[in-house]
């Protein structure tokens, strides 16, 4: 080995160890009564997503956010099965659970019936690969139709890609595709998220997660769908706050067989 390479290797090792150490010591910013800022907004967004907070995130940690935090904490458990202290403050322990896929949602009233699409039976007939959203976005073509497979049932439908900055936005191509969309989501539009596989090209089935409720701008007529649906890929983010949606990410991993 040439001697000039040794300092370079040492520098690289030092940089790597520094990054690993930084990751190991990274902590969530404590937010409590009176706190303000982006960290508060992130907590509020996640509490609202889990149905504990039903108001617009303000970035200010006050009474309603404290109450929502306590309600969340009362239903959460740690890795060893013990309950989280319900003190209304979102520190490292609370936020590590809050921003994970194991966070327990707010309970739903018994009289509320939520449609749930078919579950996976046996082995999946289709499976995707994990591809980053930035990579997928660079290859998707606007106003182009792509075939999407439901991971649980293997049924397919065609979606028209409309664009999207933080994740993909699409509409069903035909009324028949909308019928299949409704079928895999349990018969009606709802707020659930399902693992799907998008056929990016002949050789690239990509793991994704699809939202079951059309919303926002409607760009295509004659397809029996009003609005568009969101499709998340590995690393996609939500529009509000641009944070990772852990439920979508969980479904993406399922679609990739992970």
Residue 119 forms part of a structural domain: no
How are the residues of the chain apportioned to helix, strand and coil, as percentages rounded to the nearest 5? 30, 20, 50
User: Could you tell me the pLDDT band of residue 217, with boundaries at 50, 70 and 90?
Assistant: confident
User: CB-based contacts of 78: which residues, under 8 Å, 6+ apart?
Assistant: 84, 93, 97
CATH number (domain holding residue 1): 1.10.101.10
User: Could you tell me the pLDDT band of residue 240, with boundaries at 50, 70 and 90?
Assistant: low
Both 2 and 90 in one domain: the answer is: yes
Both 1 and 100 in one domain: the answer is: yes
Which residue range is the domain that position 204 belongs to? Answer: 133-255
Q: Could you give the number of structural domains in the chain?
A: 2
Both 83 and 182 in one domain: the answer is: no
Whether 76 and 97 have beta carbons less than 8 Å apart is answered as yes
Both 147 and 197 in one domain: the answer is: yes
Both 87 and 148 in one domain: the answer is: no
pTM above 0.75, yes or no: no
Dump pLDDT digits (tens) for 34-69: 999 999 998 998 898 888 988 888 999 999 999 999
Residue 122 forms part of a structural domain: no
Both 92 and 156 in one domain: the answer is: no
Q: Is the pLDDT score of 142 beyond 90?
A: yes
Residue 128 forms part of a structural domain: no
Residue 123 forms part of a structural domain: no
% the chain with pLDDT above 90: 64
User: Could you tell me the pLDDT band of residue 166, with boundaries at 50, 70 and 90?
Assistant: very high
Chain centroid offset of residue 47 CA: 14
User: CB-based contacts of 190: which residues, under 8 Å, 6+ apart?
Assistant: 114, 115, 116, 212, 213
User: Could you tell me the pLDDT band of residue 111, with boundaries at 50, 70 and 90?
Assistant: low
Res 113: pLDDT: 66
Res 7: pLDDT: 46
Q: Is the pLDDT score of 79 beyond 80?
A: yes
Listed ranges 63-77, 114-128, 233-247; the one with the highest mean pLDDT: 63-77
Both 234 and 138 in one domain: the answer is: yes
Residue 95 forms part of a structural domain: yes
Res 241: pLDDT: 56
């Amino acid at each position: 080995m040439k001697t000039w390479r040794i300092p370079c290797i040492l520098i690289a090792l030092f940089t790597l160890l520094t990054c690993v150490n930084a990751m190991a010591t990274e902590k969530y910013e404590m937010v409590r009564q009176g706190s303000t800022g982006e960290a508060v907004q992130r907590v509020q967004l996640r509490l609202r997503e889990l149905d504990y907070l039903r108001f617009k995130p303000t970035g200010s940690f006050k009474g309603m956010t404290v109450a929502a935090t306590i309600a969340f904490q009362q239903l959460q458990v740690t890795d060893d099965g013990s309950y989280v202290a319900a003190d209304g403050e979102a520190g490292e322990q609370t936020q590590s659970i809050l921003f994970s896929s194991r966070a327990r949602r707010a309970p739903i009233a018994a009289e509320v019936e939520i449609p749930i699409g078919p579950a996976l039976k046996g082995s999946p007939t289709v499976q995707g690969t994990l591809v980053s959203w930035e990579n997928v976005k660079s290859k998707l073509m606007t106003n182009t139709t792509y075939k999407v497979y439901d991971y649980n049932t293997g049924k397919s439908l065609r979606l028209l890609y409309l664009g999207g900055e933080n994740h993909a936005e699409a509409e069903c191509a035909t009324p028949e595709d909308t019928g299949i969309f409704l079928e895999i989501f349990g018969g009606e539009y709802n707020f659930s998220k399902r693992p799907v596989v998008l056929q990016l090209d002949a050789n690239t089935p990509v793991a994704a997660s699809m939202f079951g409720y059309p919303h926002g701008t409607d760009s295509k007529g004659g397809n029996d769908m009003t609005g568009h649906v969101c499709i998340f890929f590995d690393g996609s983010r939500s529009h509000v706050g641009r944070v990772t949606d852990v439920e979508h990410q969980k479904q993406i991993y399922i679609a990739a067989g992970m």
